[in-house]
Amino acid sequence: MSRRLFRWAVAAPLALVLAAGLTGCGSGTADTSAPASSGGAAKTLTVFAAASLTGTFTELGTTFEAAHPGTTVKFNFGSSATLAQQITQDAPADVFAAASPATMKTVTDASLAGQPTTFVRNRLEIAVPAGNPAKVNGLKDLADPKTKVALCAEQVPCGAAAVKALDAAGLTVTPVTLEQDVKATLTKVELGEVDAALVYKTDVIAAGDKVQGISFPEAEKAINDYPIAALTKAPAGDLAKEFVDLVLSPQGRDVLTKAGFDAP
């Protein structure tokens, strides 16, 4: 009896593992999204947005809630690539606003979103700690080996843009670190651990007094488009489109340009 029990105890998890392995290969398109609760009083709109939109979208969310009584807007801010991955794994999202067309493409390729619209553009700036201790004036100062520079990793949008801008300027910069996202890069500047970093203009503005921004002409070559789209499986249905319309409206643009974004 006991031996049989033990054998079972070993066999059961193995069977589970096998089953998981088999189903794992075929799954990926399971529909888990809840049906839209149309007509209900309390509705929730879930917006997945790039981390750089945290401030502006939170503000627009409040505006949206005021215009649609009974509706709650929930945000999931993060790296665009991570968000895109979550959406393709059937995360219950209504709207996706990405920091790069490439990350939006993974969602549209999976037929999970309609035609995306570019709603803002973001340009790079050189961020230096308050007081600019290393006396950085332009992009060429970043190539000085004495200057400690932080860049975003090439895998994330701000890193790809940095490479483009540096290539356009014909400069080779050896950074001390390739950070995992733009906020982490900016933190290194805020703490004075690096002399300069390439981040978005909006991030420099959001950081306030702790960081100074220096614009440079080559940033023109590395403008980042931000696409937004309502998702086809949006649990909140039409509300998703209404939120996109708000972002694209003059009122939405006003909030975004105030934060440092360029109009498309």
Partner 1 sequence: MTLSTRSTPPTAQGEARRRPGRSGVSGRVPWMLLVPAVVGMAFLVLPLAGLLARAPWATLARRLAEPQVLEALRLSLLTATAATAVCLLLGVPLAWLLARVDFPGRRLVRALVTVPLVLPPVVGGVALLLVLGRRGLIGQWLDDAFGVTLPFTTAGVVVAEAFVAMPFLVISVEGALRAADRRFEEAAATLGASRWTAFRRVTLPLIAPGVVAGGVLCWARALGEFGATITFAGNFPGRTQTMPLAVYLALETEPEAAIVLSLVLLAVSVIILACLRDKWVNSP
Start-to-end CA span in the chain (Å): 73
DSSP character for 140? Answer: G
Q: Which is nearer to partner 1, 61 or 175 (CB)?
A: 175
Q: Which of 181, 213, 184 minimizes the C-alpha distance to 196?
A: 213
Q: How many CB atoms lie within 10 A of CB 128?
A: 25
Q: Decide: residue 239, CB within 10 A, 0-12 exposed, 13-18 middle, 19+ buried.
A: buried
Backbone torsions φ then ψ of 79, nearest 5 degrees: -65, 135
Place of tokens 């509706």: 71
* Residue selected from 49, 50, 60, 81 as contacting partner 1 according to rule CB under 8 A: 81
Minimum distance from residue 102 beta carbon to partner 1 (Å): 9
* Residue selected from 33, 76, 82, 86 as contacting partner 1 according to rule CB under 8 A: 82
Quick check: helix, strand or coil at residue 12? helix
Binding map of partner 1 across residues 138-177, x = CB under 8 A, - = no contact: ----------x-x--x-xx------------------xxx
Q: How many CB atoms lie within 10 A of CB 146?
A: 7
The stretch among 13-21, 134-142, 196-204, 239-247 that binds partner 1 (CB under 8 A) is 13-21
Q: Which is nearer to partner 1, 134 or 244 (CB)?
A: 134
Minimum distance from residue 176 beta carbon to partner 1 (Å): 4
Who contacts 16 (Cβ-Cβ below 8 Å, separation ≥6)? none
Alpha helices in 96-156 (DSSP H): 101-109
Minimum distance from residue 9 beta carbon to partner 1 (Å): 6
Q: Does 180 bind partner 1 (CB under 8 A)?
A: yes
How do beta strands 224-230 and 95-97 pair? antiparallel
Binding map of partner 1 across residues 204-243, x = CB under 8 A, - = no contact: ----------------------------------------
Minimum distance from residue 190 beta carbon to partner 1 (Å): 10
Q: Which is nearer to partner 1, 43 or 148 (CB)?
A: 148
Contact 239, 43 (CB under 8 A): yes
* Residue selected from 188, 197, 207, 216 as contacting partner 1 according to rule CB under 8 A: 188
Count residues near partner 1 (CB under 8 A).
36
The angle that helices 250-258 and 238-248 make with each other, rounded to 10 degrees, is: 60
Q: Which of 197, 195, 186 minimizes the C-alpha distance to 148?
A: 195
* Residue selected from 52, 56, 79, 147 as contacting partner 1 according to rule CB under 8 A: 79
Q: Which is nearer to partner 1, 44 or 177 (CB)?
A: 177
Q: Which residues bind partner 1 (CB under 8 A)?
A: 1-3, 5-6, 9, 12-13, 16-17, 20-22, 24-25, 79, 81-82, 85, 148, 150, 153, 155-156, 175-180, 184, 187-188, 191-193
